[in-house]
Structure 1
Amino acid sequence: MHRHFSQLKGVINLDIKYIDGGVTAPNGFLASGIHCGLKPGSLKKDLALIYSEIPAAAAGMYTKNKVKGAPIYITKEHLSNKKAQAIIINSGNANTCNGDDGLHKAKKMTSLQAKELNLKTDEVLVASTGVIGVPLNIDAIKNGIPMLTKNLSKDGSNDASLAIMTTDTFQKQLALEFYLGDKKITIGSMAKGSGMIEPNMGTMLSFITTDLSIAPELLHEALQSSVGLTYNRVSVDGDTSTNDMVLILANGLAENPTITEKDESYNTFLSALTELNTIMAKNIAKDGEGATKLLECQIIGAKNEKDAVVLGKSVINSSLVKTAMFGSDANWGRILCALGYANIDFDPEKVDVAFESTAGSIKVCEAGSSLPFDEDIAKKVLSENEVIIKINLSLGGYSAYVWGCDLSYEYVKINGDYRS
């Protein structure tokens, strides 16, 4: 499958091909996933490993929550030299709010895995997801690491992506390839996220691998730019998790001339990375706990991009908007209400609102006032599993897209008995 993508300036007609393989699609990457028994009564895979056969440039972005999981502190410490070779991830326990015990165990995960791979401890990064405030069973992880390491393979991305899931209803992995000159570059990704998600960079984890050769500082800048346009524009429920993390490893095995400045090659990579992260972010929004449909809120005609993002997220996070979308009810007044309390200056009497889906489109509000519309057609448009809420502020030339989901009975059920 090929697509031409040119969201970012400086890139025209980038030819991207989607391929299988997830995080192991790029040259030199292996992965594995096993069950080690972190959550009593569960038999699902709960321990994952991503490994680069050679040292890689590395970068990360993390939650803005003041309460952070122990793995974030250890990973940030290990990334001070901007390189890494492996990432160990567990599900079933977030290892958060466990004090010094949590920090010690997060560090222990990296040292145990490093020893098994014959690496230095700071060459291993760590991530965790699951319930908060429960001590981590480090013995289960210690006992699982030998098997986890032995199972590393080029076909291991599927097991790894399964192992990082919690309440996710489907796996989230993707890979693509493109060319820089005559060198084929591959990017792979796996992510998890279902509820407790307002990333700003929940619990949302994303791991990206590439065989691109790029200076570590530019890798971090590319990740930051891409996350700002993708993962940071997702909200399922407005809760910013304690463990949100996006990590990227670039091992250089594509043998392209190393990217050392923001030139055409950098822009091409950034566009490909943003394309991949956009799809992954939308999959996370689509899989919001209990969700029945993906919502895309398009804010156009804004004074600036920041205003557009804030307004879009206000709409996406509104419980009244989300429940209306669950009921396929074209209650556009709730949308104007959500815009109105976002604390952003705009003119309500200039706002147009429309709904779009594969079933068609229907305009329901013009210049801040109601339009006659067919409720049956509106119901049909809103009954699809992907719905666009299109809002024109008619104030300027800026726009932004954000993603979320509807709010169903199932969300309350899942989050009401999450620990049981």
Structure 2
Amino acid sequence: MEKLLEKEDWITVENGTIATPLGFYADGKHCGLKRKKKDIGIIFSETPAESAAVYTMNQMQAAPIFITKDSLEVNQTLQAIVVNSGVANACTGKRGLEDGFAMRAMAAKHLGVAETSVAVASTGVIGDYLPMEKLATGIAALDLKSGISSDFHEAILTTDTVQKELTLQSEIGGKVITISGVAKGSGMIHPNMATMLSFITTDAAVPAELLQKLLKQKVDQTFNQITVDGDTSTNDMVIVMANGCAGNAIFSDGTPEFTAFAKMFYAVCQHLAKSIARDGEGATKLIEAKVKGATSKEDARMIAKQIVSSSLVKTAMFGEDANWGRIICAIGYSGGRFSPDNITIKIGNTVILEKSETTNYAPDVLASYLKMENISIEVNLHSGLEDGVAWGCDLSYDYVKINACYRT
């Protein structure tokens, strides 16, 4: 099963920020893209960092996607990421691209680095142009020496109700390695990827090619296994920077040191992904769907994600209704392979379906369980040995209210 290690080989750094790994700095400010809240932020590495990224699969990709790709095409290193919230700079045509490149140039000049050392990310309303004068003022105000690095976490939020962050630390190969992650995302979440931005920093030395392989693998297992509303955004990306300031010997694939690092990296990604699912717009519950006994990992993940994606399952969980027919229906149209006559479904610890037939379960026990904030649905297909997991949230009245009034 894709989950955290039962015995964690790391510690959680209390009050950690995206700048906790050695050699990183960050800041966030308000520049007027949003009415009051912080809306411009930056992450900076004092040395060039090996970097990797994955992007939205939406074909209507926003200007920042193209600009970040342009930066990483040079030599797969970055020194900074500049991010704004409030305006997505998506579906803005030629002017949007020009504004995005100008944003990159402003940040590079402010930091004294090459333009292609800077990645760009934006989130907010689609179709609006960036107010460049406000943006220029905001970038100029970012202060890496006296800035508060946790302010970056606030500056990237839109409809989020909480900041999503985690910092883990472990001794690997005789050196203390730190990984920090921060994410935003609350609605329009259905990755490959979704209205979701995530930034991960580490002071480990990891070659860019290996970092890209690791990022793709862990994103598939975590961020791409969450959903809020079935919509895939135009702007989403995950970027990781590894600057090597911890002083470890450069990781190689297949070594015990890299395996330990990869497990810690997965833990950060999983935490951020689950935090996004739990903070879905208007959500009251986190739903975890575990599928085991599948013929392939792809089938297991596909079926698990279809369960948490189902609007009928989501509304049933909001209504605290153990309507297992909605779960079995989602399994049926998921596209995964299984035997329809041999499915077991559990909600919490209660088996409600055994070999595709309803059981004599205790409704009162299940009703009590469904009042909880964290709901587990487990499916055993009895068809193979592979497992998968996905996370989502319930669909509430407030989701409609928030999105009906997003621009007003």
Picking from 255, 277, 284, the partner of 2:276 is 284
How much does 1:5 deviate?
A: 5.0
Q: Is the 8 A contact 2:108 2:117 kept in 1?
A: yes
2:335 paired with 1:335: no
Match of 2:156 in 1: 164
Match of 1:232 in 2: 224
> What do residues 376-408 of structure 1 show as CA deviations (whole Å, max 9, x unaligned)?
211111111001001111110001010000000
- Separation of aligned partners in 1, 2:194 and 2:173: 38
How much does 1:153 deviate?
A: 4.6
Match of 1:37 in 2: 32
- Separation of aligned partners in 2, 1:268 and 1:46: 36
Unaligned runs of 5+ in 2: none
2:78 paired with 1:84: yes
One-letter amino acid matched to 1:346: F
2:239 paired with 1:244: no
- Separation of aligned partners in 2, 1:243 and 1:154: 30
How much does 1:6 deviate?
A: 4.0
How much does 1:155 deviate?
A: 6.7
Match of 2:197 in 1: 205
- Separation of aligned partners in 1, 2:139 and 2:353: 57
Match of 1:21 in 2: 16
Unaligned runs of 5+ in 1: 8-12
Tell me which stretches of 4 or more aligned residues in structure 1 moved more than 3 Å. 4-7
Q: Is the 8 A contact 1:110 1:124 kept in 2?
A: yes
How much does 1:226 deviate?
A: 1.2
Q: Is the 8 A contact 2:300 2:336 kept in 1?
A: no
- Separation of aligned partners in 1, 2:252 and 2:131: 43
Q: Is the 8 A contact 2:339 2:381 kept in 1?
A: yes
TM-score (ref. length: structure 1): 0.94
2:296 paired with 1:304: yes
Q: Percent identity?
A: 46
2:313 paired with 1:321: yes
> What do residues 266-320 of structure 1 show as CA deviations (whole Å, max 9, x unaligned)?
2111111001111111000000111001000001110101011111111111111
Q: Is the 8 A contact 1:24 1:156 kept in 2?
A: no
2:126 paired with 1:126: no
Q: Is the 8 A contact 2:49 2:79 kept in 1?
A: yes
SS in 2 for 1:130: strand
Picking from 363, 376, 399, the partner of 2:364 is 376
Name the stretch that deviates more: 281-290 or 138-147: 138-147
> What do residues 116-156 of structure 1 show as CA deviations (whole Å, max 9, x unaligned)?
111110001000001101111111110111111x2x25873
2:378 paired with 1:390: yes
Match of 1:139 in 2: 133
What's the C-alpha RMSD, in Å, of the aligned pairs? 1.4
Count of aligned pairs: 404
Gap change, CA 1:392 and 1:5, over 3 Å in 2: closer
